[in-house]
Chains A and B, each alone.
Chain A
């Protein structure tokens, strides 16, 4: 490791911090655009002007927007996410358990999609141009070009309507056994795995094809190395950087997918909480959820970039 790598990584981290600041400003401005006065909306039509004035004071709505932004950011650093308008509970308390649920969903999906994508992406690249490759490419393009909810409805049609393997949309809230747990997780995980793996397969395939086209792979071929040796010893170690980069980038698609999947399957995660918050216009809740999503997204994309920097041997 030389100082150039270090400075590149540091530069990338600084850029991420700046981005996060701009993003937080965007989130704050967007959620402050709400037409009408929040206090009036909360108290309803029967509110007296005194009550509205009191609530505005209590919620610091009478302060200038810039000051409210500073308060909000300071609160975020202390773990104080504000109080939900809808049911007066601390937002942190509402989000806590839901966040864990969403992380579970994301974790299980990652566990399934990464090996699947690695195997399919690398083999498709090796057997490039064959029927197998064309089938994989066609399926991934098909999956990428339809919305997540179409993938979800198709999965329900196949696995529960026609095959009767899994329940369709209704989910029990209490889980009594491992089988039930599996049944609750199955459909959301299947849908998300399809969505995320399709992205990963495409990017892995592209990275591997690039590696297989390099001069040293050609050299290995001319030396008479076997196909498996060329792939496993020559191409794969060098493709690992780009592949990990692709994995991290694809996982950021999980965030968009999670919003749809949690809604359609009624999964008690943070995305469902946020969509409900949008419906009831619960701004502190929406702000906090949005920040959590943006931070997750930034972590993944930053990670992808840093891996790409570290994996470039010319910088070492």
Chain B
């Protein structure tokens, strides 16, 4: 209303990232790009044995050395990006979408629906995540759809709890009461009144949960229970080449670095989210 005289500069500044945030964003975008363009970027076919030596060192021909069979490590890491980023992204979207929908529903409807849902998800939450993953894989076997669903189920309770806590706060506000008096149904309340007000924190939570999922997925793959050979995500690449660890082979170091750089940069990105997104509640 009184912003007519204001220059657009401060408005844009509120959306701007600071330096740390930009570095994080750049690495995350780079990972996404690599995942999309993987087959074009990989210098060698992933299954092809290009080195006569195994656990070869870094060289001009093989930038990141070779793995335990003499395959090019750089190509395998680039292709592995697809599995790590793709599976984690799929799982986090399902987990957060489910958690937010159920959380908002529980907050708006209240009563026994809220009680039953909260109690049930709290119980699920008290199963250690890695153990849950182990059991699911033991029970149904490991394939990529199973992995995505398992990871989504494991992190849904956390997303539910977070969204519910936010939605309960919003639910007590006057405009919700007004909307209720107006005679709006729960669907309208959830979509038009609550969701816009919790969007920012939910997005930040999504990023955080993405990190947890990448960590768990890598952990499971490292145990040999995640992505199955001949495909390999970053965790599986570490497992495959663990024999090279005593020699300090690049084949075991670089997948680890890849995981660490992705998770740390997502963390940096979330910690330095622009004010406008973060404080939206």
B131 within 8 A of A: yes
**Known A-B contacts A31-B138, A281-B138, A298-B126; A149 and B260 likewise in contact (beta carbons under 8 Å):** no
B31 to chain A, nearest CB (A): 14
**Known A-B contacts A32-B139, A33-B140, A147-B218; A293 and B256 likewise in contact (beta carbons under 8 Å):** no
| Pair B246/A146 contact, Cβ less than 8 Å | no
Residues of A within 8 A of B126 (CB): 19, 23, 294, 297-298, 301
B50 within 8 A of A: no
B69 within 8 A of A: no
Residues of B within 8 A of A162 (CB): 248
| Pair A26/B219 contact, Cβ less than 8 Å | no
| Pair B245/A156 contact, Cβ less than 8 Å | yes
| Pair A149/B264 contact, Cβ less than 8 Å | no
**In the complex, chain A residues 2-51 whose Cβ is within 8 Å of any chain B Cβ:** 18-19, 22-23, 26-27, 30-35
| Pair B131/A255 contact, Cβ less than 8 Å | yes
Picked from B120, B128, B136, the residue with its CB within 8 Å of the CB of A22 is: B120
| Pair B139/A26 contact, Cβ less than 8 Å | no
How far is B128's CA from A278's CA once the two chains are assembled, in angstroms? 16
**Known A-B contacts A23-B127, A297-B126; A274 and B246 likewise in contact (beta carbons under 8 Å):** no
- Residue of B whose beta carbon sits closest to that of A162: B248
Binds A, one of B168-176, B222-230, B273-281: B222-230
- A-B contact count, CB below 8 Å? 142
How far is B140's CA from A239's CA once the two chains are assembled, in angstroms? 46
B122 within 8 A of A: yes
B189 to chain A, nearest CB (A): 30
B123 within 8 A of A: yes
DSSP class of B's interface residues: helix, strand, loop or mixed? Answer: helix
| Pair B267/A147 contact, Cβ less than 8 Å | no
How far is B127's CA from A31's CA once the two chains are assembled, in angstroms? 14
Binding site for A on B (CB under 8 A): 119-120, 122-124, 126-132, 134-141, 211, 215, 218-219, 222-225, 235, 238, 242, 245-248, 252-253, 256, 259-260, 263-264, 267
Interface string of A142-164 (1 = CB under 8 A from B): 10011111100110110011100
- Residue of B whose beta carbon sits closest to that of A294: B127
Among all A-B residue pairs, the 6 with the closest Cβ atoms: A22-B123, A168-B246, A278-B138, A33-B139, A256-B130, A150-B256
How far is B218's CA from A256's CA once the two chains are assembled, in angstroms? 13
Residues of B within 8 A of A83 (CB): none
| Pair B139/A275 contact, Cβ less than 8 Å | no
Residues of B within 8 A of A124 (CB): none
**Known A-B contacts A22-B123, A286-B135; A161 and B259 likewise in contact (beta carbons under 8 Å):** no
| Pair B136/A30 contact, Cβ less than 8 Å | yes
**Known A-B contacts A19-B123, A23-B123, A259-B134; A34 and B139 likewise in contact (beta carbons under 8 Å):** yes
B130 to chain A, nearest CB (A): 4
| Pair A26/B124 contact, Cβ less than 8 Å | yes
Residues of B within 8 A of A34 (CB): 138-140
How far is B239's CA from A263's CA once the two chains are assembled, in angstroms? 11
How far is B219's CA from A156's CA once the two chains are assembled, in angstroms? 17
B249 to chain A, nearest CB (A): 10
A58 within 8 A of B: no
**Known A-B contacts A22-B123, A32-B139, A162-B248; A169 and B267 likewise in contact (beta carbons under 8 Å):** no
**Known A-B contacts A18-B119, A149-B219, A169-B246; A31 and B128 likewise in contact (beta carbons under 8 Å):** no
Beyond contacts A26-B123, A141-B267, A149-B219: 10 other A-B pairs, Cβ-Cβ < 8 A, are A31-B135, A31-B139, A34-B138, A146-B263, A147-B263, A149-B218, A161-B245, A255-B131, A286-B134, A294-B127
